[in-house]
């Protein structure tokens, strides 16, 4: 009988961590979640998904190497998912050191544990498509990074560190380069939640207005519950690699907001104010992405495009529902999880 897989999720209290825990439990994993102070955290997202009592929760500080060694030594995981760290691009300009330490230094600490103690564990590192900066054409796994924020810089550092440890020490490291992916679990400081929540309140009689910065920036917006499935699929490969997860469709923030307001029978321009104080010091103006490797090698594609995402968010906001909207994942590849003539891994010698 095959032993039960044991997963550790760093960042389990966040959006992706909660959805990933839900997914892994459904696949028979023993799931351990790590938070800086587990006793003080409510783990509200886990509770809303009905799984708080099914996840074994631990306190752990990713900035402290001894804490990581002690914690992982007790759990003895077969897989580690690192989704932790300061996750707001805007906030990273105000907290650059904290952002770098919580993302890049934390990655080094986990990888050092794997190098020194247990190199057989499979490791997933969450990276961001913000690392590409402004794209010319559609970026893929071989496109050079050009980060334009402290957040993207930290994520790029975590990516390259993962590449180095994979090549130098033979550790099974996979990085998922994730486009923007949304859910009702996003904090309201994120612009997508801000737009939806404001529009819903206006539709219910509020006299407020929507204040945004640059509405001409363009992003690829997907649905978070689908993206954690992509993470799990990537970890099933016998040969570790990196993969970009996106919908393949790019829209401006104005289009996103206009779609939300239109679905509520409102006209965006009647309620929109452009606020110059919300502009970032540097900004990624356009982010176009090519997720074809994920489709060809993992059998994964995003079913929810931007219009679906706005509809999901509005429905959840109106109902006060924070659980995942039902979705159907694509089939796994016929030939399993081995590479199929992939492009070279970024930073590899081959």
Closest CA to 317 of 200, 206, 150, 174: 200
Catalytic residue among 81, 113, 123, 151: 151
Tokens of 328: 């159907």
Catalytic residue among 102, 128, 183, 301: 128
Closest CA to 107 of 10, 233, 240, 181: 10
CB-side exposure of 116: number of CA atoms within 13 Å?
13
CB atoms within 10 A of CB 316: 19
Please tell me the distance from the alpha carbon of residue 96 to that of residue 149, in angstroms, as a whole number. 9
Closest CA to 293 of 141, 136, 177: 141
Catalytic, 263? Answer no
What is the residue-wise DSSP string for 212-279?
ES-TT-EE-EEEHHHHHHHHHHHHT-SS--EEEE--S--EEHHHHHHHHHHHTT--GGGTEEE-GGG-
Catalytic residue among 19, 29, 130, 255: 130
What are the helix (H) ranges across the chain? 15-26, 44-48, 65-75, 89-94, 96-100, 106-116, 150-169, 191-203, 224-235, 253-263, 292-298, 306-319
Catalytic, 13? Answer no
Cβ atoms of 33 and 17 within 8 Å: the answer is yes
Please tell me the distance from the alpha carbon of residue 317 to that of residue 319, in angstroms, as a whole number. 5
Catalytic, 113? Answer no
Active site residues: 128, 130, 151
């Amino acid at each position: 009988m095959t032993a039960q897989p044991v997963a550790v999720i760093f960042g389990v209290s966040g959006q992706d961590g909660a959805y990933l825990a839900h997914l892994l439990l459904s696949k028979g994993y023993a799931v351990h979640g790590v938070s800086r102070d587990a006793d003080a955290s409510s783990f509200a997202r886990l509770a809303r998904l009905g799984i708080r009592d099914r996840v074994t929760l631990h306190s752990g500080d990713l900035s402290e190497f001894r804490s990581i060694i002690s914690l992982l030594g007790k759990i003895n995981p077969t897989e580690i998912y690192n989704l932790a760290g300061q996750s707001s691009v805007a906030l990273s300009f105000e907290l650059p050191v904290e952002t770098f330490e919580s993302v890049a230094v934390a990655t080094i600490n986990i990888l050092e544990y794997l190098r020194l103690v247990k190199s057989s564990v499979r490791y997933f590192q969450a990276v961001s498509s913000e690392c590409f900066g402004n794209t010319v054409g559609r970026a893929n796994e071989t496109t050079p990074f050009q980060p334009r924020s402290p957040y993207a810089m930290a994520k790029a550092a975590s990516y390259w560190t993962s590449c180095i440890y994979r090549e130098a020490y033979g550790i099974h490291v996979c990085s998922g380069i994730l486009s923007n992916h949304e859910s009702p679990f996003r904090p309201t400081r994120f612009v997508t939640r801000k737009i939806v929540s404001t529009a819903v309140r206006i539709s219910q009689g509020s006299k407020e207005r929507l204040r945004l910065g640059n509405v001409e920036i363009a992003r690829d917006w997907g649905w978070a519950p689908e993206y954690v499935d992509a993470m799990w699929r990537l970890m099933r490969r016998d040969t570790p690699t990196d993969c970009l997860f996106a919908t393949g469709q790019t829209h401006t923030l104005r289009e996103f907001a206009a779609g939300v307001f239109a679905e509520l029978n409102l006209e965006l321009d009647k309620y929109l104010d452009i606020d110059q104080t919300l502009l970032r010091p540097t900004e990624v103006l356009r982010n176009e992405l090519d997720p074809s490797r994920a489709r060809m090698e993992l059998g994964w594609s995003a079913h929810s495009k931007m219009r679906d995402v706005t509809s999901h968010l509005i429905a959840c906001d109106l109902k006060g529902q924070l659980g995942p909207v039902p979705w159907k994942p694509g089939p796994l590849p016929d030939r399993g999880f081995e590479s199929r003539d992939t492009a070279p891994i970024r930073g590899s010698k081959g």
